[in-house]
Amino acid sequence: MRAGILGGSGYTGGELLRLLHFHPHVELAQITSREQAGRYAHTAHPNMRGVSRLKFIHPDALETCDLLFLALPHGATASGIDRYAELAPKLIDLSADFRLNCSAAYERYYGEPHPAPHWLNRFIYGLPEVNRESLRGASWVSGVGCNATALNLALLPLVEAGILERAACEIKVGSSEGGNRSNPGSHHPIRSGAVRSYKATGHRHMAEARLVLGESFPLHFSVTAIEMVRGIHLLAHCYLSEPKEERDIWRLYRRRYRGEPFLRLVSGRAGLHRLPEPRVVAGSNYCDIGFVLDDDGRHLVVIAALDNLGKGAAGSAVQAMNLMLELDERTGLEFPGIYP
């Protein structure tokens, strides 16, 4: 299958480049960048030096292909969607442009009308653990928000069981979540050593959480930047409708995620890594989930960790692509990460 990446100079584009280069069923034929056109891709993604000989091309030089990954800034995909659909019969959009299926919800959370509302219902939300069957053979798939993915995967078993009354979550994120363009908050003397809550309420990823988890219970989450490059760490205080024992929670999560290739349950009684942490999943498509149940049986603390560029972006996109092409969804994604 001949694939292309539109908007390949950013961190997500680089992660796609790495994953697709080693995918046995994909020929990555083109990668675009306005600013880097004519340069080797490894000038922006030095980990690919000696591995990939691709050069960036200008977006206007993009040729037709079998599948196109759209790793563009917010709003750019929606503005050019008709052209991109002519270039490839299958599209995966890694921006937030087509994650929601309702123009009113989009305007509520993003503060402006959607540029192409007639396209919204055509895209399948690309979280395989939720939409696996709909993704099989699909033509148009959206990416997922990294914070929303951690939140959705952590809480989904409780929501589906009907026992979650309310939840308050703190999400700690690395600097790569802000993208590869500098801003005042990413300046090294300011960003280094930071513990900065930059979105205490009203994060846009709440739209995806409500899309997956529903509107039926009070849900709050805050996002805090910490001294980390890659990764997301979620800690959710969950209040249950009835007391549970630890074995009940284990049974619930095991039943929901049995057979999921990239969900790992982590909850040891001893040892340094008895609960999930981002560095363990760095560079991988895994999401680790663990929990601690309070003595009253109704206060459950759920912890989740994933790589924001992996399972939170490019990894999920490649997993969705495998389903679109009716391949084993693990193909090209079984790298376990690095440690330490």
Catalytic (active-site) positions: 146
Q: What is the DSSP string of 49-70?
A: TTT---BEE-GGGPPP-SEEEE
- Is 31 strand, coil or helix? strand
Residues 239, 301 contacting (CB under 8 angstroms): no
H or E element, residue 12: helix 11-21
User: How far apart (Å, rounded) are the C-alpha atoms in residues 52 and 20?
Assistant: 11
User: How far apart (Å, rounded) are the C-alpha atoms in residues 244 and 163?
Assistant: 10
> How big, in percent rounded to 5, are the helix, strand and coil portions of the chain?
35, 20, 45
> Residue 297 contacts by C-beta under 8 Å, 6 or more apart in sequence?
240, 243, 244, 245
Between the alpha carbon of residue 317 and those of residues 32, 100, 135, 221, the distances in Å are: 18, 16, 11, 24
